[in-house]
Amino acid sequence: MQEKFRDPAGFEATLTDACWAHITARHPVMEPFRESVAEAIRQPDGIHLGKRDPARRIYRKRYAHVPDVGDSLDLLVFVDGVDGYVATAYFRALSLRGLGDLIWPSE
């Protein structure tokens, strides 16, 4: 299965079953959160360029509580800025240090 999601800036991201299998193999806690990944792309709190790889887009969505994971977490979704495929996704405590320039919303 292949799903496509358009972000608020008009960029289209693609999540395939193969991408999802890769994500959940590395981050098993993500298994029940496929729809949250789609939501983070469609309705992010912010879109950043990758700090280490500016060709990547990083979608950040804040969650006050994530069942069985924790409180006050950001879902980060990394998407290749060239082909649009979702590379990885995971939850982490709020920290903007690893994120590059904010490209959406524009200031």
Write the pLDDT tens digit of every residue in 26-82. 999 999 999 999 999 999 999 999 998 999 999 999 999 999 899 999 999 999 999
How far is the CA of 91 from the CAs of 5, 37, 64, 77, 105, in angstroms? 20, 10, 12, 9, 21
Q: What are the extents of the domains in the chain?
A: 2-104
Token pair for 59: 């979608």
Q: What is the pTM of this model?
A: 0.94
61 contact partners, CB below 8 Å, separation of at least 6: 36, 39, 40, 43, 44, 45, 74, 75, 77
Residue 44 is given by DSSP the state -
